[in-house]
Amino acid sequence: MASQTIRVLVLFGGRSSEHEVSVLSASSVISALDSARYEAIPIAIERSGRWLDPAASASLLPHEAAGKCSLREVEISHQPGCSRGFDVVFPVLHGPYGEDGRLQGLLDMAGLPYVGSGVLGSACGMDKDVMKRLFNESEIPTLPHETVLQGEAEESVSRIERNAGYPAFVKPANLGSSVGIRRVENREALVGALGYAHEFDTKVIVEPGIEAREIECAVIGNQSPEASLPGEIVTHGGFYDYETKYVTDSAELIAPAKLETERVEAVRDLAVKAFRALDCSGLARVDFFITDDPRWPSIVVNEVNTMPGFTSISMFPRMWAVSGLPYERLIERLLALALERHADASSLRFDIA
């Protein structure tokens, strides 16, 4: 395959509140692919869950990305060996139905190579409650949290005030891009934030709010993952919400982060440890807090994102760029890791004879 054009099926959109972010990420990925080596075939998934053909999918992309797309006919089947017209899938999907293991299970059943974590890593990386439980099991420092299921908000308020206190952050357990998150400082705001977060997810987590530096670290690899140099997010007031990330681009990324050498290595080591604890593969972005608050460890892992944003302003590619791996080569590396992982999985035995 090395001497041939690799046909990349780029999946984007999806049944998620992060639908628009996915479109932006896919546009950046397609625009970065070297047309001499890769053929990008777009397949959009509507909010309804309907999959579009390449021509209809390309029409949803910005002009530059659409112009690089191949409109060849493809066949996608859940039956192994029955899909046609492409070599590897790049599922640039964020949030539920794309990043949470459901799509990965479909692709595994179909016997298709794809970029990113498998079913387990994707599911654990999406569910912040399960993720934090695994961190605790692996002795990875993380903030304590309270879990609130739908219908339990009223009875949970006193427990949250006692354990998390104020200020606190209320988050849907299974979303990213800061969708549905609110910072609260009193009971009235907490009740409202729980109701708002439950509009997006049946499970919500509440964490104590802390004064801290926001540090991120990117990881790529399969069996031998490696971490980038960390970066720091400076928001200049407020928290790193959806609008700051994707609309105003008002956050400042300092990369590499201005940290002591010992802390840089500690962050990179913890990033790889978190990656492995969730059984991730391919890629992830690991988010940290660094704090001087004596109530908490100085470095805590906030969360892991198994399919971080790939837009031109996204932090994951920026951190790899300052680590010596520019965007185009990063995409190529991820595709190679996908094919490598698929080859390893295909070599496993399915019989006992």
Q: Annotated catalytic sites, by residue?
A: 18, 177, 246, 285, 287, 303, 305, 309
List of residues 6+ apart from 86 with CB closer than 8 A: 7, 8, 9, 41, 74
Which runs of consecutive H residues, i.e. helices, occur in 141-278?
Answer: 153-163, 187-197, 242-246, 261-277
Distance between alpha carbon 254 and the CA centroid of its chain, in Å? 20
Helix (H, G, I), strand (E, B) or coil at 152: coil
Could you tell me if 20 and 92 are in contact, meaning their C-beta atoms sit under 8 angstroms apart?
A: no
Could you tell me if 182 and 189 are in contact, meaning their C-beta atoms sit under 8 angstroms apart?
A: yes
Distance between alpha carbon 265 and the CA centroid of its chain, in Å? 23
Specify the length of the chain in residues. 353
Helix (H, G, I), strand (E, B) or coil at 24: helix
Q: Print burial letters for 89-103: b (CB count within 10 Å at least 16), e (below 16).
A: bbbbbbbbbbbbbeb
Distance between alpha carbon 110 and the CA centroid of its chain, in Å? 23
For residue 49, give the amino acid letter: G
Cα torsion 69, 6, 27, 94 to 10°: value is: 130
Q: Write out the two tokens for 264.
A: 């840089």
280 exposed, middle or buried (CB, 10 Å; 0-12, 13-18, 19+)?
buried
E strand intervals along 203-350 = 203-208, 213-221, 226-227, 231-234, 252-254, 282-290, 299-305
106 exposed, middle or buried (CB, 10 Å; 0-12, 13-18, 19+)?
middle
